[in-house]
Chain A
Amino acid sequence: MRNIFVFLWRYNFFLFFVILEIVAFSLIVRNNFYQKSLFFNSSNFVFSNILNLSNSVTQYFTLKSINEQLVKENAFLKSLHRSSYIISVDTITIASDSLFMRKFSYVPAKIVNNSFNRVNNYITINAGSKNNIKSGMGVLSPKGVAGIVKDVSNNFAAVYSVLHSNMKISGKLKNTSIVGTVIWNQKHHKYASFIDIAKYHQIEIGDTIVTSGFSKIFPEGIPIGFVSSYSYAQTGDFYDIKIELATDFSNIEYVYVVVNHIYQEQEVLELMLENE
């Protein structure tokens, strides 16, 4: 027994090192599982409040360009409003009381922390479970897709940015049914890859890639990016498409969290399929 204590004392430095490393690696492993709440993340009370404080100073530097973005978005939304349309055919009328059901609604949120130069990037936003935000919801920027919510605290949420190696977004070429997947290639914050497009499809530079609407997370038709270049190997069956992301991650300040009101219904149905 005494020898054990002598041994432990002698190698206390090494043993302490091993213990600390085991703790650190268990944290790494836990963090890699999707939607697992961790105490140490940027939605944590202390961390998020420090980031919020820091952001309240730095937000002034980007005020001008953010205002321009918001004005542009307002103009676009105004053009969709009823008052912008006139009735051109007066023989058909649509009674729109119970015909339409709301599927998506949006919660505005301000970004308190954002990174785009690391291997895996996250966004911290100042809306949390108080605003009915849950893990797994989609996040949109004024220009396009921004990410998916990871962890939620009372007032804040940590969001997987599109610039994260775990992110796979189902996308399609606009106005077609050619569906593929958008992944980030970890090289540049402006570019990503659009994969799984067979070689026999027609593709042109500048084509818009939008969300496919297959997932429960994003509404259909939200821009993800634009084809900037493409190539294919002689032997392969698929295109190698490089896209320019619609969202400029170096310059976003406000985002919208997508709340899907019939998420549960689709989720239950799809779980039944998986269990078969």
Chain B
Amino acid sequence: MSNIKLFLIFAALILLQILVVSNIYIYNKISPYIYIMFIIIIPARMNRNLVMFLAFLSGLIIDGFYNTGGIHAASSTFVAFLRPKFLTILESRFDNETIEMPTAKYVGVKFFIYYAGTIVLIHNILIYSLELFHLKSFIYNFWLVIANSAISLLLILLIDYLFRKEK
């Protein structure tokens, strides 16, 4: 995986998020966040400080477009901070072999859903709780977070599937 290819994926995911996915309106409340996919599929051996910086950068760009200040930057940085721990858990399922790229192609769809699903869920919980500081309508937002994470994950799986065929 060359650096240029990684940069292209990074740029493509952010443009996809801003130009296409931000126009998806399901039941008027769902707004999926797929740019976090970059943090999910970036090679496992990549320098973790660099990964975290890239997560921060992508969040900051999304914040710029969505006028959210630093909510996405904070959430994706946090997810990138937890990522090495998830990878360790994932690797323990494969006899501690180093996973080259944690995509569905390398780890299988089942484990990819567990791994990506956890990251997407935490990311969404953070975004929603930072946006609504109060817990006034907690139940309502709880289902919103679940639904939003599910749709985000679905889109990520779809993108992963589409690009898997090319390789």
Contacts from A to B (Cβ < 8 Å) = 12-14, 16-17, 20-21, 23-32, 38, 40-42, 44, 47, 50-51, 54, 58, 113, 115-120, 122, 150, 158, 165, 186-189, 250
Contacts and interface: CB of A to CB of B under 8 A. Distances in A.
Given A47-B64, A58-B23, A118-B31, A24 B59 contact: yes
Contacts of A24: 56, 59-60, 70-71, 73-74, 77
A128 to B, nearest CB: 15
Contacts of A119: 128, 131-132
Contacts of A30: 69
B31 A25 contact: no
A165 B19 CA distance: 25
A32 B48 contact: no
Contacts of B28: 116-117, 188-189, 250
B64 A54 contact: no
A154 to B, nearest CB: 16
Contacts of A21: 74, 77-78
B130 interface: yes
A30 to B, nearest CB: 7
A115 B68 CA distance: 12
**For chain B, what secondary structure do more than half of its interface residues adopt (helix, strand, loop), or is it mixed?**
helix
Nearest to B136: A186
Contact of A40 (B19, B30, B48, B63): B63
Nearest to A250: B25
Contacts of A54: 18-19
A149 to B, nearest CB: 12
Given A20-B53, A58-B23, A28 B64 contact: no
A51 B65 contact: yes
Contacts of A14: 81
Nearest to B24: A117
B67 A31 contact: yes
23 contacts: A12-B49, A13-B48, A13-B52, A16-B49, A17-B81, A24-B56, A24-B70, A24-B77, A26-B70, A28-B71, A29-B69, A31-B67, A40-B63, A41-B64, A41-B67, A42-B67, A51-B18, A115-B66, A117-B28, A122-B66, A122-B67, A186-B132, A188-B28
B29 interface: yes
A65 B60 CA distance: 35
